[in-house]
């Protein structure tokens, strides 16, 4: 898919992976719409994009609210008239055993990580289909959407759902010529470990979280390297963007455990 001259939308575009994606799209000559809760962070990214000679639009958006994402879509179509790449990327995490998760933890993490992706599709897909131009959806999941880790259960739940949604979406959108990629990184050097900064007051827990962020295995990649892999996947229309070679062994072991479950049942 040709990127130059086209339009990209990046949720969570103020920081980390979203910021790197937005800047990478701008370097390709795309117009970029940023959507984030953090207006100061978005202003910095929008300034950098304009400094590269590309157009940027920054819209304060809460992806957990359908109306907010619909308003974003209206702003983007009013400004650019077209959307070719939609990155449903905003995300947050909590840490700790499922048995200690509060109702608010579930609401917050699923609200951003899963409903945020669903809202993006609801608000953008009908018009992306109707415009009948090559297009691509990138949903940011995680290796935590393919492999379970103790202490990451709420996050695992949200990300497994995003992987499943994306796998089906790829089949559903094929007839329309719209590609789908699901981004599944292990560690990336971003501000994800301070996600609590983004938790709305109404969903805060009465006491501070007891659990420390889970230490991820494998290397920590720079967001720019991850963004480069996403652009390659868009161009090559590849579904899985599995950024870390270290992911192969845990994935293989997971499928071997499933294979054993079938073989041993038949004994
Ligand atoms: N960093 C990692 O190790 C890692 C690994 C796998 C997957 N991911 C995923 O990558 C995505 C990006 O996270 P990141 O690592 O760049 O973290 P980050 O905290 O640096 O960036 C996340 C951005 O999302 C924004 N955001 C949070 N809640 C929002 C909401 N309700 N509405 C709109 N914007 C909101 C934040 O303000 C922030 O700018 C997330 O989906 C995360 O789960 C990260």
Residue 120 belongs to a domain with what CATH number? 3.40.50.720
**Pocket-testing residue among 23, 44, 64, 90, ligand 1, by greatest number of atoms within 8 A of Cβ:** 90
Ligand 1 atom with the smallest distance to the CA of 17 is 16
Residue 161 inside a domain? The answer is yes
Measured in angstroms, how far is the CA atom of residue 24 from the centroid of ligand 1? 17
> What's the chain's average pLDDT?
96
pLDDT for 120 equals 99
pLDDT for 267 equals 87
Q: Which of 155, 160, 176, 240 is catalytic?
A: 155
Name the β-bridge partners of 221.
188
The model's pTM is: 0.98
pLDDT for 217 equals 77
Residue 146 inside a domain? The answer is yes
Contact 6, 84 (CB under 8 A): yes
Measured in angstroms, how far is the CA atom of residue 113 from the centroid of ligand 1? 9
The pLDDT tens digits for 201-219 are: 999 999 877 778 877 778 9
pLDDT for 14 equals 98
d(CA 135, CA 7): 10
Residue 127 inside a domain? The answer is yes
pLDDT for 25 equals 98
- Buried residues in 200-217 as b, exposed as e (16+ CB within 10 A): eeebeeeeeeeeebbebe
- Told to judge if 155 belongs to the known catalytic residues of this protein, a careful annotator would answer yes
pLDDT for 105 equals 97
Residue 41 inside a domain? The answer is yes
Residue 1 inside a domain? The answer is no
The pLDDT tens digits for 146-205 are: 999 999 999 999 999 999 999 999 999 999 999 999 999 999 999 999 999 999 999 999
Task: Tell me the average pLDDT across 86-113.
Answer: 97
Identify the residue whose C-alpha is closest to ligand 1 atom 16.
16
Window from 75-84, 123-132, 200-209 with minimum mean pLDDT = 200-209
What total number of domains does the chain contain?
1
Ligand 1 atom with the smallest distance to the CA of 194 is 19
Residue 2 inside a domain? The answer is no
Contact 90, 11 (CB under 8 A): yes
Residue 129 CA from chain centroid, whole number: 21
Give the list of residues 6+ apart from residue 57 with CB closer than 8 angstroms, or none: 31, 32, 33, 34, 46, 75, 76, 79, 80
Task: Tell me the average pLDDT across 78-90.
Answer: 98
Ligand 1 atom with the smallest distance to the CA of 41 is 39
pLDDT band at 44 (very low <50, low <70, confident <90, very high): very high
Measured in angstroms, how far is the CA atom of residue 116 from the centroid of ligand 1? 11
Residue range of the domain that includes 153: 7-266
Residue 130 inside a domain? The answer is yes
């Amino acid at each position: 898919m040709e990127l130059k001259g086209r339009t990209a939308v990046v949720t969570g575009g103020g920081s980390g992976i979203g910021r790197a994606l937005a800047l990478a799209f701008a370097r390709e000559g795309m117009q970029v719409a940023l959507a984030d809760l953090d207006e100061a962070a978005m202003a910095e990214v929008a300034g950098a994009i304009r400094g590269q000679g590309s157009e940027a639009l920054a819209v304060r958006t809460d992806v957990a609210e359908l109306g907010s994402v619909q308003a974003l879509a209206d702003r983007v179509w009013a400004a650019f008239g077209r959307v070719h790449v939609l990155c449903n990327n905003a995300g947050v995490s909590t840490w700790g055993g499922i048995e200690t998760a509060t109702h608010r933890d579930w609401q917050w993490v699923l609200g951003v990580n899963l409903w945020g992706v669903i809202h993006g599709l609801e608000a953008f897909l009908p018009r992306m289909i109707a415009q009948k131009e090559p297009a691509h959806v990138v949903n940011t999941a995680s290796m935590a959407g393919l492999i379970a880790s103790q202490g990451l259960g709420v996050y695992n739940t949200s990300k497994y759902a995003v992987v499943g949604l994306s796998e089906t979406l790829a089949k559903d959108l094929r007839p329309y010529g719209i590609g789908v990629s699901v981004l599944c990184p292990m560690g990336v050097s971003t501000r994800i470990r301070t996600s609590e900064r983004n938790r709305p007051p109404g969903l805060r827990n009465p006491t501070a979280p007891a659990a420390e962020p889970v230490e991820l295995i494998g290397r920590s990649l720079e967001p720019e390297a991850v963004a480069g892999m996403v652009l390659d996947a868009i161009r090559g229309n590849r579904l899985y963007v599995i950024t870390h070679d270290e992911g192969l062994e845990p994935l293989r072991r997971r499928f071997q455990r499933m294979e054993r479950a079938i073989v041993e049942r038949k004994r």
